[in-house]
Amino acid sequence: MNAPECPCQFNTGFIRRIILLAAAIVLVAACGKAKEDALPPGSRVLALGDSLTAGNGVAPEEAWPDLLAKRTGWVVINGGVSGDTSGGALLRLPALLEEHHPVIVLVTLGGNDMLRHIAQKETIVNLGKILAMIKAHGAKPVLLATPKPSVAGAAFHNLSAADFYLRVADEQQVPLIEDAIAEVLSDPQMKGDPLHPNDAGHAQLSQKIFDALKSIGFAR
């Protein structure tokens, strides 16, 4: 009569397999979150946006793209146009890419779409085309979310990003800087008017964007 199999042998083998599986999952997750290579000084970066990028209400050198350039040593082209929509920026983008040949493009659009009640589906489609065009040109896009219009959010200083940005970033597989603009515009001391940062707000926004780009790997 054979001796019964020792339960401890089964348990040891089972535990070993679980450990190996867990290690494999951790390794795959780590590989999926590999950082981008840092951009050296002199790299060309395009900031594509509306008045939040153009620097409505502040001097050009006080807007966050110029402050980001000073912080990093990059050549940051301010491609912000006050009042622009995602559709308008989509039309402007080919010429900007051909002229400047950026390494990365920071896309800050959608605020005017929401204010003008443009259908969210149209904004999502336009942003998708913008991000795809950037990638097709050999550059790497980074999407920045703008706050959804909210009377309560403005009154209680608690704005939040519109939820469709996360969807667009996931679909296009691009990094998203989700909370930087909403956090700045939630602070009354950082605003020059209800919709735009003042010089202190742009300085804070520049810091937040830099920190996010550092986390992604582009800045150091």
Extract the runs of DSSP E, i.e. beta strands, from the chain: 44-49, 75-80, 104-108, 140-144, 176-177, 191-193, 196-197
- Our answer to whether residue 196 is catalytic in this structure is yes
Residues facing 76 on adjacent strands:
45
Burial 137-176 (b: 16+ CB within 10 A, else e): bebbbbbbbbbbeeeebbeeeebebbebbeebbeebebbb
Token pair for 103: 């390494």
- DSSP H/E element including 79: strand 75-80
The rounded distance, in Å, linking the Cα atoms of 198 and 192 is: 4
> Strands 191-193 and 196-197: what pairing?
antiparallel
The rounded distance, in Å, linking the Cα atoms of 140 and 78 is: 17
Catalytic choice (51, 86, 186, 206): 51
- Our answer to whether residue 150 is catalytic in this structure is no
Nearest in space to 185 (alpha carbons), one of 131, 144, 124: 144
Catalytic choice (50, 113, 186, 196): 196
* 65: alpha, beta or left? (left if phi > 0; alpha if psi -120 to 50): alpha
Return the active site residues: 51, 193, 196
